[in-house]
């Protein structure tokens, strides 16, 4: 029987961790205004565009991934790689946007409402996806069965779609 590779010997684990660490650095930089993201591209700032691009990638690629992995099971490894790294980079873009928003001066501070809820859901999605992909908790308590964490990851995805819907409606002034 072939021994299962541990996550710590997996290059994609270390690359994923590197993307997360770079995301944290960029968030700190956006929050502390090390990077100028306030310039306009069309009617919106770069920070908003980053948030939208990241969110749109997750919104559209997630159902595409679900369909393609069933339709083309022989391409599963490639699809998982795109899913993991695409969503990590999308999360990075959203994180930069979020950090920029909460780093605004007090007189321009945003009403976080649905934005905060959306970011918390995205954090949970990223964390559960990371744990599931690299089987980090396979021997710990309730998470010893990988499908329990997978169930949480998929369930939170529905929350993501609902909150995105209300976040958009709220910020365009419909509700």
Segment 8-16 mean pLDDT: 89
Identify the three-state secondary structure at position 130. helix
Contact between residue 57 and residue 90 where contact means Cβ atoms under 8 Å apart: yes
pLDDT digits (tens, 9 = 90+) for 32-54: 999 888 888 998 889 889 999 99
- Pairs from 33-42 (Cβ < 8 Å, separation ≥ 24): 33/103, 37/96, 37/100, 38/100
- Reported pTM: 0.86
In terms of Cβ atoms closer than 10 Å to its own Cβ (0-12, 13-18, 19+), residue 59 is: middle
How many residues are listed for the chain in this entry?
175
Contact between residue 163 and residue 169 where contact means Cβ atoms under 8 Å apart: no
pLDDT digits (tens, 9 = 90+) for 82-138: 999 999 999 999 999 999 999 888 888 777 788 899 999 999 999 988 988 887 776
């Amino acid at each position: 029987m072939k021994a299962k590779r541990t996550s710590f010997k997996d290059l994609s684990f270390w690359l994923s961790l590197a993307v997360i660490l770079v995301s944290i650095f960029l968030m700190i930089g956006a929050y502390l205004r090390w990077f100028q993201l306030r310039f306009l591209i069309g009617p919106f700032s770069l920070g908003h565009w980053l948030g939208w691009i990241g969110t749109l990638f997750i919104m559209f690629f997630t159902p595409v991934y679900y369909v393609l992995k069933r339709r083309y099971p022989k391409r599963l490894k490639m699809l998982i790689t795109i899913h993991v790294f695409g969503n990590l980079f999308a999360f990075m873009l959203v994180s930069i946007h979020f950090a920029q928003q909460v780093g605004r001066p007090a007189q321009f501070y945003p009403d976080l409402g649905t934005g905060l809820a959306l970011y918390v859901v995205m954090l949970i999605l990223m964390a559960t996806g990371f744990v599931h992909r690299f089987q980090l908790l396979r021997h710990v308590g309730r998470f010893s069965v990988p499908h329990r964490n997978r169930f949480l990851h998929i369930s939170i995805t529905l929350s993501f779609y609902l909150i995105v819907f209300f976040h958009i409606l709220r910020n365009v002034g419909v509700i």
